[in-house]
Amino acid sequence: DIVIRPHFIPQLTSCRCSRKCAHGSVTVQWQRGDKNSIELTISVPPKTAVSYDGKALPAGRHQFTIKNQA
């Protein structure tokens, strides 16, 4: 299983990474938004076990807004 635990480094305004898996690539990207928020996008290929924030993510594109991040 792949567990997503992004670290939001204050010196960066955005970050993107991916990992090749048997059925495609898992991609994680984030960008600082307005009002101390971060926009996080996680793309999961089919038949790949990925979790974020303790929850399993099905195949597809998932978007999250994380508040109160300076």
- Cα dist. 17→34, 56, 57 in Å? 22, 19, 17
Residue ranges of the chain whose pLDDT lies below 50: none
| Close Cβ partners of 52 (under 8 Å, ≥ 6 residues apart) | 3, 4, 42, 62, 64
Q: What is residue 23's predicted lDDT score, i.e. its pLDDT?
A: 96
Tell me the pTM.
0.91
CA distance 12 to 2: 24
Query: What pLDDT sits at residue 2?
Result: 95
Q: What is the pLDDT of residue 70?
A: 59
> What structural domains and CATH numbers belong to the chain?
2-66 (2.60.420.10)
